[in-house]
Amino acid sequence: MATTGRNIRRRTALAALGGSLLSACTNESRPDPAASVPPNAPPSAPPAALPGAAAYRASPGEVEPACKNAAVAAVTAALTWQPGQPARALDDRLRQAGATPSLAPDLYALVDDHLTSTLEVVYPQYGGLGRGRRDASVMIVARQTWRTAAGATPQTRELTIDVRLRHANRRWAAESASVSAPPPLAASLDAATRRLLGNDGVVLPAAARADLLSGAIDPRLVRVLGALSRTWRIHVQVLRSGHPRNVYGTARLSNHTRGQAVDVWAIDDIPVIEQRASVASAVMRQAAAAGADEIGGPLDPDGRNGRPPYFTNDVHKDHIHVGFEVR
């Protein structure tokens, strides 16, 4: 399902287990234990299910859309169940989603004995693609909503999950996953970081907000995001937490891990993969004008790929990477 236009929140996909499954961090504490149903509840009242919608499917314009679909399907299967379905039957749900059994231990800590749960995928962005497109990292930002009992108020948490996949026998399968955990809070924050946290022009997932609250993000990057937000509405996918520690497929520490890079997945509420080339180019040029010296995206504004500060490749078709190289 392609996402276009400004109404991006409406078009993010709620993935529900009720339909057929696709062949597949938080800065909050664990959800509260399940509450018991009141003894005087009418026996004829059916348990209330959470609303569902069509499962997420990557836009045909995505690089290796089947890879993203497999990653989303696995995470959705883990965190989606309806009344009467056992929440702890994680292995069965993952098997139906086409994931490998090795994925279950990585996600089991996210599963609680709630009455019902659904997952809203905000966006699955590439963290890396292996040589020959035989393996990949897909970083998923998603919101889980659950009810502990019939009639209970729905609760929500936001997650950033790095799903690792492998391509074999003509299909992608999720093999492992890492869920970002919030870093410790900083004792104090500088004024620029505080302004960014309150800036409506920069949409931050919970993991990125926690990174800023930790004080671990380079002040130069904070300034660049502030500068970009004066012209566009910027949707952040990851800062530090939730991104692969090393540049994918290498032993080189990522500038994300250093707190010196950000990935932007949407501009003015339109995914980068679907944005006009002129807009993506303008954002990349503005990032350079604001001081960034490591800028990757769906195109090279100078047309000279490999010449600093710009670069482009298949991994960066779905986002704009803005960072600062180590000097």
- The one-letter code for the residue type at 156 is T
Dihedral-angle region of residue 215 (phi above 0 means left; psi in -120 to 50 means alpha; beta otherwise): left
Q: Are 47 and 81 in contact (CB under 8 A)?
A: no
Please identify, in words, the CATH class of the domain defined by 8-30+47-179. Answer: alpha beta
Do 229 and 195 form a contact (C-beta atoms < 8 A)?
A: no
Q: How confident is the model at residue 55 (pLDDT cuts 50, 70, 90)?
A: low
Chain centroid to CA 107: 15
Name which residue leads in pLDDT, 206 or 22: 206
Q: Which fold, 191-323?
A: Muramoyl-pentapeptide Carboxypeptidase; domain 2 (3.30.1380)
The per-residue b/e assignment along 272-301, b for 16 or more CB within 10 angstroms, e otherwise, is bbbbeeeebbbbbebbbebebebbbbbbbb
Element (H, E) at 129: strand 116-129
- Give residue 45's pLDDT: 36
Pick the closest to residue 93 from 112, 65, 74, 119 (CA basis): 74
pLDDT in tens, 17-48: 333 333 333 333 333 333 333 333 333 333 34
Sort strands 171-179 and 155-168 into parallel, antiparallel or unpaired. Answer: antiparallel
Residue 70: pLDDT over 70 = yes
**Both tokens assigned to 283:** 């954002």
Q: For 234-266, how does the pLDDT look when each residue is reduced to its tens digit (9 = 90+)?
A: 999 999 999 999 999 999 999 999 999 999 999
- DSSP letter string over 69-123? HHHHHHHHHHT-B-TTS-TT-HHHHHHHTT--GGGHHHHGGG----SEEEEEEEE
Closest C-alpha among 40, 28, 131, 21 to residue 79: 21
Q: Is 70 exceeded by the pLDDT of residue 53?
A: no
**According to CATH, where is 3.30.1380 located in the chain?**
191-323
Considering only residues 86 and 171, tell me which one the structure prediction assigns the higher pLDDT: 171
Higher-scoring residue by pLDDT: 154, 7: 154
State the residue for tokens 């003015």: 268
Q: Please give the residue that has the higher pLDDT: either 192 or 55.
A: 192
Residue intervals of the chain classified under CATH 3.10.450 are 8-30+47-179
pLDDT of 103 reads 96
* Nearest 10 degrees: Cα torsion 187, 191, 197, 198: 130
Backbone angles phi, psi at 40, to 5 degrees: -95, 15
Look at residue 8 in the predicted model and tell me its pLDDT: 53
Average of per-residue pLDDT across 146-151: 92
| pLDDT at residue 282, as a whole number | 99
* Residue 7 pLDDT > 90: no
Could you give the percent of the chain with pLDDT greater than 90? 76
Residue 222 in tokens: 């904070």
Q: What is the mean pLDDT of residues 143-171?
A: 96
Mean pLDDT, the chain, whole residue set:
86
Provide the Cα torsion 270, 275, 281, 282; round to 10°: -40
Burial class (CB in 10 A: 0-12, 13-18, 19+), 78: buried
Element (H, E) at 139: strand 135-147
For residue 52, pLDDT over 70 is answered with no
Q: Render the burial of 186-196: b for 16+ CB within 10 Å, e for the rest.
A: eeebeeebeeb
pLDDT band at 59 (very low <50, low <70, confident <90, very high): confident
Q: Give the model's pLDDT for residue 187.
A: 97
